[in-house]
Amino acid sequence: MDCIFCKIIRGEIPCEKVYEDEFVLSFLDINPVMPGHTLVITKEHHANILEVAEGTLERLATRVQKVARGVKDGTLADGIFVSTLSGEAAGQSVFHIHFHIIPRYENDGLVNWPYKPYAPGEREEVAKKIKTALSS
């Protein structure tokens, strides 16, 4: 595969590993939002969270939690931001499932995304559409 994360797993591209087991590899992001910004990836290729099997996702989540604790403690962060992106429209640029673990600090200057309220009746309509999709 030409996937950059698969190449990292195979050792073709170096990385700064922070954790590895038979299932995941975790390493520092080369373009960190904050020092300590860490990625957790599965060793098996899956494009994103929408395409990974449920059992695989459960195993991945336990590793993400473990690494998040290490990042928080190791960087003395006040908090941790954990995210995954699915699809180009969401900003995914490497199509191999991965979670970002970003240390956060009080007054670190990062701005969270903007929040905006629903228009009258919109919340109920959106909830109905999601419930319908979940029941099919």
Regarding beta strands 98-104 and 38-42, do their DSSP bridges make them parallel or antiparallel, or are they unpaired? antiparallel
Whether residue 1 is predicted with pLDDT greater than 80 in this model: the reply is: no
User: Which residues partner with 104 through β-bridges?
Assistant: 79
Nearest in space to 63 (alpha carbons), one of 29, 96, 32, 22: 22
Tokens (6 digits) for 47: 């494009």
pLDDT tens digits for range 79-106: 999 999 999 999 999 999 999 999 999 9
pLDDT tens digits for range 10-53: 999 999 999 999 999 999 999 999 999 999 999 999 999 999 99
Active site residue 98: yes
pLDDT at 54: 86
DSSP letter assigned to residue 72: H
- Measure Cα distances from 30 to 13, 26, 88, 100 in Å: 12, 12, 20, 12
Cβ atoms of residues 44 and 121 within 8 Å? no
- From the list 37, 46, 96, 98, the catalytic residue is 98
Nearest in space to 40 (alpha carbons), one of 13, 71, 10, 76: 71
pTM over 0.85? The answer is yes
pLDDT at 113: 85
